[in-house]
Amino acid sequence: MLKYIVKRLLLSILILFGVSLIIYFLVRMMPMSYLDTKFSAQIQAGTIKQEQVDAFKEIYGLADNSFLGILKGYFVWVGNMLKLDLGVSFVHSEPVGKVIAEHMWVSFFIAFVATVLQFLIAIPLGITSATHQYSVRDYSVTVLTMVGISLPSFFFAALLIRVFASGLGWFPVQGLVSGGASYSGIAYYLDMLWHLVLPMIVLVVLSIGGLMRYTRTNMLEVLNSDYIRTARAKGLSEKKTIYVHAFRNTMIPLATLLAGILPSLFGGAMITEEVFAIKGIGQLAYASLKQADIPFIMGYNMFLAVLTVIGTLLSDIMYAIVDPRVKLGK
């Protein structure tokens, strides 16, 4: 196991190097930079000259957009990153690491609660759909989950806002807390939770479909196995056969989902946070991307890349734990 982990960590370093190189080149090849956007009005008004903007670019290492110039800028960025310095965000005027650390927890709370609800709803639905295959229950669950999968997040979010916020007035339209309110203590957190109900509904409804279908498919495969037929032939109750023997083996493929859970917990829901005006890490990343904030874009994407690598490693280890037949390190 230790040999396998060390080997995967060394491979992960190579993967992160390749990912960072690709992202840096893509970001640097964007048609507009933050400095061009910021000073475009002043250049047109004649209050600042293009030479002065180019001088700013030289300071930040963004003046040379040739292949060698971008490569040189990349290695400067890598050198700073190895010193745990992700640079200063152009948009937020603060260190990138500080901005990520301050705003990722809102996104984490939303994603964590949504993920827990997703598993609590999708797995039982998948099991009941598999155990009642081709029944009205199976078709009903399948249709509802397929509708959830097919809905774009921005459309579903706008629909919920129109019906439950603007129409019925049950929930706030946008934001994380009520404007002008002076809540404190438990009242403050309850107000914040009330603002997060609709975003959580969006994330849960749009994500349970895939997990439900995955659970249903795996459960059907397990239920057709010889040992399940043997358990039934021995007189075991249907409940014990399904939830003790079948479900345990259904969990083995589900362990691979851990690879995607970790980055989704901390990475934020970019579109959902933007629609509901929630100042999480996803909304900040979207704003930075629109304004070509290179330091923040690089720091955010590398943050997600590291989480993805860690999630993949944990997924492999969990797969070996839940299935003793899998041996790592060979």
Say how many CA atoms lie within 13 Å of 221 toward its Cβ.
12
Contact 296, 99 (CB under 8 A): yes
320-328's contacts with Cβ under 8 Å and 24+ in sequence apart are 320/1, 321/255, 322/251, 322/252, 322/255, 323/252, 323/255, 328/1, 328/4
Q: Which residue has the higher pLDDT, 287 or 249?
A: 287
Whole-prediction pTM value? 0.76
User: Is the pLDDT at 49 greater than 80, yes or no?
Assistant: no
Contact 272, 282 (CB under 8 A): yes
Identify the pLDDT of residue 323. Answer: 62
pLDDT tier for residue 188 given thresholds of 50, 70 and 90: confident
The mean pLDDT of 9-20, rounded to a whole number, is 86
Q: Among the ranges 31-40, 62-71, 81-90, 245-254, which has the highest mean pLDDT value? A: 81-90
pLDDT tier for residue 41 given thresholds of 50, 70 and 90: low
Tell me the average pLDDT of the chain: 80
Q: Which residue has the higher pLDDT, 194 or 244?
A: 194
Contact 91, 294 (CB under 8 A): no
261-264's contacts with Cβ under 8 Å and 24+ in sequence apart are 261/115, 261/311, 262/307, 262/308, 262/310, 262/311, 262/314, 263/304, 263/307, 263/308, 263/311, 264/111, 264/115
Identify the pLDDT of residue 157. Answer: 87
User: Is the pLDDT at 166 greater than 60, yes or no?
Assistant: yes
Percent pLDDT > 70 in the chain is: 83
Contact 14, 292 (CB under 8 A): no
User: Is the pLDDT at 197 greater than 70, yes or no?
Assistant: yes
Q: Among the ranges 48-52, 91-95, 154-158, 241-245, which has the highest mean pLDDT value? A: 154-158
CATH superfamily of the 105-322 domain: MetI-like (1.10.3720.10)
The mean pLDDT of 125-131, rounded to a whole number, is 85
Give the number of residues written for the chain: 330
User: Is the pLDDT at 279 greater than 70, yes or no?
Assistant: yes
Q: Which amino acid is at 320?
A: A
The mean pLDDT of 242-248, rounded to a whole number, is 74
Q: At what angle do helices 96-131 and 281-290 cross, to 10 degrees?
A: 120
Residue for token pair 């060394």: 10
Identify the pLDDT of residue 259. Answer: 64
Q: Which H/E stretch holds residue 173?
A: none
Residue for token pair 């797995």: 123
User: Is the pLDDT at 30 greater than 60, yes or no?
Assistant: yes
Q: Which residues contact 47 (CB under 8 A, 6 or more apart)?
A: none
Identify the pLDDT of residue 69. Answer: 80
Q: Which residue has the higher pLDDT, 293 or 321?
A: 293
